[in-house]
Amino acid sequence: MGRKCSRRSLMEFPILLIHTLFLLFFPLPLLSEHNNFVRQPAGQLIITPHQRSHSDPQQVHISLVGKEKMRVSWITEEKHAESVVEYGTESGEYSAKSTGEHTSYRYFLYNSGKIHNVVIGPLKPGTTYFYRCGGSGPEFSLKTPPHNFPLEFVVVGKSLSLGFDISLLLHRLVCFCLRDLGQTEWTASTLKHVESREYDVALLPGDLSYADSQQPLWDSFGRLVEPYASKRPWMVTEGNHEIEIFPIIYPQPFQAYNARWPMPFQQSASTSNLYYSFQLVATHVIMLGSYTDFHAQSQQYNWLQSDLANIDRAKTPWLIVLLHAPWYNTNEAHQGEGESMRQAMEQLLYNARVDLVFAGHVHAYERFTRIYDNKVDSCGPMYVTIGDGGNREGLALMFKNPPSPLSLYREPSFGHGRLRIVNETHAHWSWHRNNDTDAVVADGIWIESLSSSQACSIQQDDPNEEL
């Protein structure tokens, strides 16, 4: 898809130049991924264009926010567009209306559109709603999660991204107006496979857009995922590609991420959008931040301790954690990057009998056994790395040898995972590899909740017991 050199493109040139100089002199996480492992070559990229009017909503996505409510987020280029959502259970007939808030941000010469956030509800469980954002533009529909089990999560990591790397950046500096960007064929394949089967909620453990300070790529990513993220709640946590700091000028990380992907942190008594939890159908999901302070007595650590202590496992048999940099990893890529967080927080998760920990970051799939402190432990969480959604950087092909007895399945292929919680005691995890146009179930396992295990019972009033 070709495009002419626009005035906006020319305005972005100084940003790219500054960013390139920054990349040359400062070690961004982007560069740290290129060490001694080899990835498959990436595919051609195309950008997802904006084809609606300035006042119409774009980049629409929804997320869970408290009991029986959803947050609808979207962006308009028109600054006077209203932050309202009309909705109802009949197409074209909107019996309810909610008003919300808006924000925006600036990054060098880039000015974001008007970012709208509106909470709608209470909504009935397992129900399809039709909605319209800002009083104009297309109608969208969403389905709320069920009231009872079964509950199905889709887990996609690393990411449904547009992707971007230094070679592309340098190439853009040479022929910025001629170059087209966008998604990879693997991204499209993963998205198609995710939607081909019913699910209730998507979980994404970080590295969403790979914008890496190229702010227009956030917009392109939002448009890319809108057909999916406007239908089912997408619950995300941040990865290293969302940091986007620039010394002195933009020292605060995650500016774009926090503005564009607000998560329900206030509802779980967190003070940061970078870590939070939510409750859904007797399942408690905790989203941790790998790139904010996690050491003992940090705000995140204290919040996690308090959040775990407030879970009643008799009423909430399933406990799931997501984070970005894996604590257990036998791939050559990103070795040891989650180790300090593991040392700080693993005991909290173990004592609370967390059932599953999902991570991203590594561009491959790997499933471990139940672990505590680097040893097989039937009362520890099962760890899964699922960093293979379809990024431009390709796959992390090299695993360490000999294989660790802790690692039960590992494969460098793109795909997505599904966690189907059948009832209070049993769930099924499956990993679906992208085989060209088909999604093939390559790995699957039944899991029993630790809350139903007599051998792993804990004192409910003291989840942070000393070992």
Nearer to Fe ion, 212 or 355 (CB): 212
Q: Which two tokens stand for residue 162?
A: 């547009």
Nearer to Fe ion, 61 or 361 (CB): 361
Compute the half-sphere exposure of residue 466: CA atoms within 13 Å on the CB side of its CA.
0
Alpha-carbon gap, residue 351 to 370, rounded angstroms? 13
Binding segment (CB under 5 A) for Fe ion, from list 132-140, 170-178, 234-242, 455-463:
234-242
Do 118 and 106 touch, CB atoms closer than 8 A? no
Picking from 201, 158, 108, the residue whose alpha carbon sits closest to that of residue 384 is 158
Active site residue 284: no
* Omega of the bond leading into 150 within 30 degrees of 0 (cis): yes
Of 209, 240, 258, 316, the one binding Fe ion by CB under 5 A: 240
Instruction: Tell me how far, at minimum, the Cβ of 326 lies from Fe ion, in Å.
Output: 10
The residue annotated as part of the active site, out of 193, 284, 334, 416, is: 334
Residue of closest CB approach to Fe ion: 361
Compute the half-sphere exposure of residue 54: CA atoms within 13 Å on the CB side of its CA.
6
| Distances 454 to 2, 389, 421, 450 between C-alpha atoms, Å | 62, 37, 20, 8
Instruction: Tell me how far, at minimum, the Cβ of 365 lies from Fe ion, in Å.
Output: 15
Binding segment (CB under 5 A) for Fe ion, from list 75-83, 233-241, 311-319, 365-373:
233-241
Instruction: Tell me how far, at minimum, the Cβ of 236 lies from Fe ion, in Å.
Output: 13
Residue keyed to tokens 């099962």? 382
Q: Residue 54 is which amino acid?
A: H
Nearer to Fe ion, 71 or 342 (CB): 342
Q: Which two tokens stand for residue 228?
A: 């999916």
Alpha-carbon gap, residue 69 to 72, rounded angstroms? 10
Instruction: Tell me how far, at minimum, the Cβ of 221 lies from Fe ion, in Å.
Output: 15
Nearer to Fe ion, 239 or 289 (CB): 239
Q: Site map for Fe ion, 314-353, x if CB under 5 A?
A: ----------------------------------------
Binding segment (CB under 5 A) for Fe ion, from list 50-58, 149-157, 187-195, 231-239:
231-239
Alpha-carbon gap, residue 262 to 276, rounded angstroms? 11
Instruction: Tell me how far, at minimum, the Cβ of 325 lies from Fe ion, in Å.
Output: 7
Helix axes 215-229 and 185-195, enclosed angle (nearest 10): 30
Instruction: Tell me how far, at minimum, the Cβ of 361 lies from Fe ion, in Å.
Output: 4
Contacts for 285 with CB less than 8 Å, ≥ 6 apart: 203, 235, 277, 278, 279, 320, 321, 322
Nearer to Fe ion, 12 or 337 (CB): 337
Strand bridging mode 139-143 / 415-421:
unpaired
61 contacts Fe ion (rule: CB under 5 A)? no
**What is the largest distance, in Å, between two alpha-carbon atoms of the chain?**
66
Instruction: Tell me how far, at minimum, the Cβ of 202 lies from Fe ion, in Å.
Output: 18
Q: Which two tokens stand for residue 443?
A: 């790995």
Instruction: Tally Cβ neighbours within 10 Å of residue 184.
Output: 24
Nearer to Fe ion, 230 or 258 (CB): 258
Residue keyed to tokens 């969480």? 381
Residue keyed to tokens 């008003």? 99
Of 239, 390, 412, 417, the one binding Fe ion by CB under 5 A: 239
Nearer to Fe ion, 243 or 445 (CB): 243
Instruction: Tell me how far, at minimum, the Cβ of 383 lies from Fe ion, in Å.
Output: 16
Q: Which two tokens stand for residue 447?
A: 């899991």
Number of residues that bind Fe ion (CB under 5 A): 4
Instruction: Tally Cβ neighbours within 10 Å of residue 228.
Output: 18
Helix axes 7-25 and 166-175, enclosed angle (nearest 10): 140
Q: Site map for Fe ion, 191-210, x if CB under 5 A?
A: ----------------x---
Binding segment (CB under 5 A) for Fe ion, from list 43-51, 100-108, 123-131, 239-247:
239-247
Interacting positions 356-385 with Fe ion (CB under 5 A):
361
Nearer to Fe ion, 255 or 385 (CB): 385
Please give the positions annotated as active site. Answer: 334
Q: Which residues of this protein are in contact with Fe ion, per CB under 5 A?
A: 207, 239-240, 361
